[in-house]
């Protein structure tokens, strides 16, 4: 994994220390770990106000039988999405993975 400081004009390998010059054109086309982290954030606060759908699902915390739900890709692209639930009563959050 190569990294660079904000003011740095080189890429440096975090394992072996190899150094390579940076190219502004190539850098603009690159996907960074910071960009990936930002795209994976899902705000589920006030789920009902966000328009999330509801379904029949038993909350493991309070036993309520209704929950808001959404799906998100959190693993590699060749694996199915993960379903997330938010209890309509106690707002407990849990997930359901396909195996």
Query: Tell me, what's the pLDDT at 98?
Result: 58
In this prediction the pTM is 0.49
Is 74 assigned a ligand-binding role in the annotation? no
Burial of 59 (0-12, 13-18, 19+ CB in 10 A): buried
pLDDT of residue 63: 92
The answer to whether the annotation marks 27 as part of a ligand binding site is no
For residues 86 and 91, give the distance between their C-alpha atoms in angstroms, rounded to a whole number: 5
According to the model, what pLDDT value does residue 66 have? Answer: 93
Residue 95 labelled as part of a binding site: no
Q: In terms of C-beta density within 10 A (0-12 exposed, 13-18 middle, 19 or more buried), how is residue 87 classed?
A: buried
Are 36 and 48 spatial neighbours (Cβ–Cβ below 8 Å)?
Answer: no
**Annotated binding-site residue? 59:** yes
pLDDT digits (tens, 9 = 90+) for 38-90: 445 556 555 555 678 989 999 999 999 999 998 888 777 777 788 899 999 99
Q: Is 14 annotated as a binding residue?
A: no
42-99 folds as N-terminal domain of TfIIb (2.20.25)
51 belongs to an annotated ligand binding site: no
Domain ranges of the chain: 1-39, 42-99
């Amino acid at each position: 994994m190569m990294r660079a400081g904000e003011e740095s004009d080189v890429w440096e390998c975090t394992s072996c220390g190899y150094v390579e010059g940076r190219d502004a054109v190539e850098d603009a086309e690159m996907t960074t770990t910071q960009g990936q982290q930002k795209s994976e954030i899902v705000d589920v606060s006030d789920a009902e106000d966000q328009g999330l759908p509801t379904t029949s699902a038993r909350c493991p915390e309070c036993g309520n039988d209704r929950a808001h739900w959404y799906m998100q890709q959190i693993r590699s692209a060749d694996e199915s999405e993960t379903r997330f639930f938010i209890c309509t009563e106690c707002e407990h959050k849990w997930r359901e993975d396909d195996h």
